[in-house]
Amino acid sequence: MNITSSLNIKHNDTGKASLLLNNFKLGNIVQMEIIPVSEAEVVSIIKHLKPKDSAGYDGISINILKHCAHIISKPLTHIYNCSLTSGTYPERCKFAVV
């Protein structure tokens, strides 16, 4: 017994969903092309951030980031591109101050 029958829910479109899933072929999947991020893009994004004096969990404010955008753009670009190509996201970037 599945959960939908125990809940007594009627699904009229289950045939359509099953048909779509049964006809699904792995060859129909389009691969996403990974386009590297450029230093110019990183600098542009930093420059377009709203200026704030408040700091994040790392103690760095947006205003400080804006002043050193050209200096930190190369290492940030490297980190972003490594993250995109490896499919992993750095643990330290998963924190936010809300």
DSSP code per residue over 35-96? PPPPHHHHHHHHHTSPP---B-TTS-BHHHHHHTHHHHHHHHHHHHHHHHHHT---GGGG--
Encode pLDDT of 31-64 as tens digits.
777 889 999 999 999 999 998 888 888 888 999 9
- Whether 82 has a pLDDT exceeding 90, the answer reads yes
Q: What is the pLDDT of residue 8?
A: 56
Question: Does residue 21 lie within any of the structural domains?
Answer: no
CB 66 within 8 A of CB 42: no
Q: What is the pTM of this model?
A: 0.61
Count how many domains the chain has: 1
Nearest to 47 by CA among 31, 22, 16, 69: 69
Question: Does residue 15 lie within any of the structural domains?
Answer: no
CB 93 within 8 A of CB 58: no
Q: What is the pLDDT of residue 19?
A: 72
CB 61 within 8 A of CB 49: no
Question: Does residue 27 lie within any of the structural domains?
Answer: no
Higher pLDDT, 67 or 18: 67
Q: What is the mean pLDDT of residues 8-30?
A: 65
Q: What is the pLDDT of residue 9?
A: 56
Question: Does residue 88 lie within any of the structural domains?
Answer: yes
Q: What domain range includes position 86?
A: 39-94
Question: Does residue 80 lie within any of the structural domains?
Answer: yes
Question: Does residue 32 lie within any of the structural domains?
Answer: no
